[in-house]
Chain A
Amino acid sequence: MSAALPWTRRRATVVRAVGVVGVVGTALTVWLGLWVTSPDKVQGDLVRLVYLHPPIAWVALYLAFGTAALSSVLWLWPRTRSMFWDRLAVSAMEVGVVFTALTLVTGTLWGRPTWGVWWAWDARLTSTALLLVLQLGYLALRRVPTDPQARARRSAIAAVITAVDVPIVHFSVNWWHTLHQDATVLNANLSPTIHGSMAWTLLLGFVSITLVFLWLLAERYRIEVLSDDAAETSFESALAERWAEGGVAVDEPLADPEAGPRQPVRS
């Protein structure tokens, strides 16, 4: 404990710093997006939602889901198999659900005044909604009672299968050319069709929301570790109680080590 504690504090400080910088950056993005930047020639003031919607979508689609899928592959790969990857995958997936839901909500709030409808069965919207359902399915699958290894295996397989939806979401605007506009920043030529204060505000939004995601991911990962510790501790406490019921001290040495684990004796 004494060796682990300073490292824990250092890591907690880093996580807190990432969170603070992310929150301050997001506040700055809001200020620039709402009060400093000019309205767009075509979209008018609605362009202000663009400083928030694409950064949130970037986190939901690429960072969160990418982290979950990659972690799941690393868990499935025997050489890199570790519960670290399983915990990271579920943490990224849960945080990703929040960002995917926000992607849909902010997109809808932009789409209603722009397209005239709250929802359209557009390729990008539909594939993103499917992604949210798949993420919720993953989290539901994890709640099925089983041992940790089996849960990690089936979750990892589910995450890898559902990752197929990510390229569909990304390329949907190019493949089907439905209502949603083509990529502005991550387009085929990697030449953003946006410039000036708008581009810098959008870039700040991407960086800030990414930092917020990393902070939330670190917090969620820590919860996963602590939950496992709490479950282990409560199991050992229950075991100790069972031993105590038998009138035997837990740390009392075995009379016959060859006889195997001692069973509690009911009085």
Chain B
Amino acid sequence: MSYIAAGYATALSVLFSYGVALTARRRRLERAVMGAGEDGGAETRAAPR
């Protein structure tokens, strides 16, 4: 049973951590780009392509 638990724990924790890390990075970048837009008129570049 320990192999099964290890398999599930590894897969789920890695996927969860990766998802959280991506979301945090995306939000940080969004804030940075929007902030730069307010300062330097780059607001329109925050729109997705």
User: Nearest Cβ in chain A — how far from B45, in angstroms?
Assistant: 5
Distance, CA A205 to CA B8, complexed state (A): 12
- Of the stretches A106-114, A138-146, A189-197, the one at the interface is A106-114
User: Is B14 a contact of A98 with CB atoms below 8 Å?
Assistant: yes
Contacts of A84 in B (CB 8 A): 49
A110 interface neighbour in B3, B36, B37, B48, Cβ under 8 Å: B3
Complex: A215 Cα to B23 Cα, angstroms? 10
Chain A interface residue number, banded: 35 or more
- A187 beta carbon closer than 8 Å to chain B: no
Question: When the two chains form their complex, are residues B4 and A34 in contact, meaning their CB atoms are under 8 A apart?
Answer: yes
- Given A30-B12, A84-B49, A227-B29, A240–B40 Cβ distance below 8 Å? yes
With an 8 Å Cβ cutoff, the count of chain B residues facing the other chain is: 32
In the complex, what distance in Å separates the CA atom of A109 from the CA atom of B8?
A: 10
- Closest Cβ–Cβ distance, residue B2 to chain A (whole Å): 9
Cβ–Cβ contact B11 & A5, under 8 A: no
A225 to B43, CA, bound (A): 14
CB distance from A135 to the nearest CB of B (A): 15
Main secondary structure of the interface of A (DSSP, over half): helix
In the complex the two chains form, is B42's CB within 8 Å of A233's CB? yes
B46 nearest in chain A by CB position: A229
Is A154 at the interface (CB under 8 A from chain B)? no
Once the chains are docked, how many angstroms separate the CA of A53 from the CA of B37?
44
Given the interface contacts A222-B26, A230-B29, does A52 sit within 8 Å of B8 by beta carbon? yes
Any chain B CB within 8 A of the CB of A8? yes
B47 near A11 with CB under 8 A, answer no
Distance between Cα atoms of A154 and B32 in the complex (Å): 29
The 30 sampled A-B contact pairs (Cβ below 8 Å) are A1-B46, A4-B44, A8-B48, A34-B4, A46-B3, A49-B4, A49-B7, A49-B8, A83-B49, A84-B49, A98-B14, A98-B15, A102-B10, A102-B14, A105-B11, A109-B3, A109-B4, A110-B3, A212-B15, A216-B18, A219-B19, A219-B23, A223-B22, A223-B25, A223-B29, A226-B33, A229-B42, A229-B46, A233-B40, A237-B40
Q: Tell me the A residues contacting B by CB distance below 8 Å.
A: 1, 4-5, 7-8, 11, 19, 26, 30, 33-34, 45-46, 48-49, 52-53, 56, 83-84, 95, 98, 101-102, 105-106, 109-110, 112-113, 212, 215-216, 219-220, 222-223, 225-227, 229-230, 232-234, 236-237, 240
Closest 10 pairs between A and B when the two form their complex, measured CB to CB: A4-B47, A226-B29, A109-B7, A219-B22, A233-B36, A233-B42, A229-B45, A106-B7, A49-B7, A109-B3
